[in-house]
Every structure is written in C-alpha cells, then in structure tokens.
C-alpha cells in the first residue's frame, strides 16, 4: 500500500478540512507546544522507497510567520472563507500565491493518538481574535536566523571560489 494524501480527515472526533484553521496541544513538539495551523493535508500509508509508515498531518503554522505578515495573510484568507469559495489549500497554492509561508510549513504525527490533544477548529468569527491573541507567540526569529545562516553560507562559498 503506497501512501495516500487526504484533504479532509477525522481525528479525535474533529473533521480537519483543507484551508481551515485549527489549534491543538502537541506533545512531540520541538519549539511550539500549541500550534495554530491552517490544515493542508494528511498523509497515511507506506512510503514506496523507504518502506516507512507515514501517519501525519501537514499545515502552515501561523506562529512561525512574522506578526505583520500573519495578520495580513489571515485577512486575505478570511475573504476566501467568507465568500464560500475556499479553494483547496495545497502546497502548490502556497508556493505560487504565498511563497513567504513556505518556511512555516510543518508536519505533525497522528499516531500515537495522544500526540495531538485538545484539537479544535477555530470558528470563523474567532479567527481574528485567536490570531491577534497569538501574536505574543512568534517563532519567526528562529526562521530568520536559519535563513540568515543559509544566505551567509551561500555568499561565503561564492567568495571562496
């Protein structure tokens, strides 16, 4: 069985749909114990090349987006939801229309089930409140440092040649 990609999946009694906002407690965290994500997809199955079992969800973690960009992006995405034309939020869409979100892409393991606790969809009328409330959580500095070291190493390699 190769792996399949699902744009909607039920986990712990909550239906995750592509393009909608969710928050939960994640016990296998590295930096962010309480991610707030826009769900992209779920992957389940066995990888054809490695044979490893994959059971995970993918999303854009809003806590890794700089504050000013985060609020602006959420306002533009809310217009899509408000008009009832929520396009499927895919990786291709992120790369094409929102390239600044690529560094905040995260994967979260579905199994064991206790890794994801208190999963809830953020209702449309609370999206602004939750995003503004999460402005104190900002992991974008870590990303900026990573990007800075990549850029610095790139230019250092060019100088050596």
Q: How does pLDDT run across 46-88, given as a tens digit for each residue?
A: 988 888 899 999 999 988 888 778 888 888 888 877 776 666 7
Retrieve residue 9's tokens: 């999946």
Structurally, how many domains does the chain consist of? 1
CA distance 100 to 132: 19
User: What's the rounded Cα separation, in Å, for the pair 132 and 74?
Assistant: 10
Q: Provide the token pair at 154.
A: 């790139």
> Model confidence over 103-120: pLDDT tens digits?
889 999 998 888 999 999
pLDDT of residue 137: 63
Full domain range(s) for residue 70: 4-160
């Amino acid at each position: 069985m190769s792996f399949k990609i699902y744009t909607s999946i039920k986990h712990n009694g909550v239906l995750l749909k592509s393009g909608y906002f969710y928050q939960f407690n994640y016990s296998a965290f590295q930096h962010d114990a309480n991610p707030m994500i826009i769900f992209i997809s779920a992957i389940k199955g066995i990888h054809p090349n490695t044979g490893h079992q994959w059971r995970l969800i993918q999303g854009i973690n809003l806590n890794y987006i700089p504050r000013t960009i985060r609020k602006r992006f959420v306002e533009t995405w809310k217009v899509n939801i408000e008009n009832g034309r929520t396009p499927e939020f895919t990786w291709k869409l992120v790369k094409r229309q929102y390239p600044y979100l690529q560094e905040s892409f995260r994967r979260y393991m579905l199994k064991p089930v206790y890794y994801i606790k208190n999963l809830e969809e953020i209702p449309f009328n609370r999206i602004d409140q939750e995003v503004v409330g999460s402005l104190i959580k900002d992991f974008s500095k870590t990303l900026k440092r990573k990007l800075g070291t990549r850029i610095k190493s790139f230019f250092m390699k060019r100088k050596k040649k």
